[in-house]
Structure 1
């Protein structure tokens, strides 16, 4: 079974208000454990996060959902930690450029930090769904939002639906901050349950990517949507990803000519189309 990786990043630099990040992590983990689709999620954490930590964690875990818990200061940026534990602001355009390199894998970014809407809008140029805060938000409301959002995803809700449930949770608790979280949807993003099995529209979407020779993106999206696929299928897709990456690297070093690289891409193209046809046949049988 394919799994959705949630990468939880937290930063609470010296001189900022102390946040109950440990409580937020614990409650999210508890919510996911009781969710009906709990086996479809892997929850990874990285605390006291610095800019190098962000890069390393993204490269290591290749998440589909990225969550930042910390402080924000509007246009000044999100507050990461420096090597000395002090504030290091990271601004919107830098974050947008960074996430553009992971746009084939990341489906949703949650910025659970005050005044983070400006960063959310920038990142949403490259990621389907981004949540940011339009104002200052209390720790209690921020944690309530996170727990309800991820538990809803774990109970087969779409990202948009999970967002609505999370805002409703804040309102039901009487915190009067339900208007602060803002969901920004990238233009042309299709609403999908992040762990649902393949459906016809998803198969057609990936087939279009293959036809456009966007094989790397097609393979990445196959993995994201293949929650119902068995481990053998998932491993086959990972092998194809590695083959494409190796071929591209060898061509750039002059160790492989363009024709050989194209042969490799054609081989992967036909294999992926065959996997998609198998998924389509299974849907027809069901």
Structure 2
């Protein structure tokens, strides 16, 4: 077959993402209703993707990236494609930029670094039993804010680079995460299934880690050796210092 007729890797990923996630029901709250062989094939394809496959040249770190502004957002997004089954695009973070702690209600996802390095902190929400009462926070919360507090666990903190496999999220595990650029600019491929849709209960919410009185800066407490770290999160408006601009995707055209 002539080289020009070779199917781009990103097209293969899009096709496999549609096959993998088609029919997924977010209201089932189940992490096990994806067929393992289809999910493994998608994972293998995404692991192999590189910035060059999308014609995205890695950006160099600047000595002083300058202040963020209307024409210099901290984060930009390249839209690749979106269907009723999944969305796919590339996030590009400037040096020192962060995507604040946020959630993906009822959604699956994959994050694959294309260049640079990111640190990802993943949390899971916990169901609050009737006996659980809120601790005293430092600083104290105003009474209206207490309705927006959520009990959670810090599930993992890990760094990912181009050579790493994807960071995975499901409706129940690693669903809330914060993404920080490490040691320079970075970019990652992002797949969400199904896509955000506020009309269907899939809107993005932002959170802040709370500190109970007597706790350290980690914002949580270790219950016993080997157990996960519990903490509390406050739902907040989108932080004022975060916004996402848009860039044109330069890579192969994708159709699904």
Q: Which has the higher helix share?
A: 1
Which range, TM-score by smaller chain? under 0.3
Q: Normalising to structure 1: TM-score of the pair?
A: 0.24
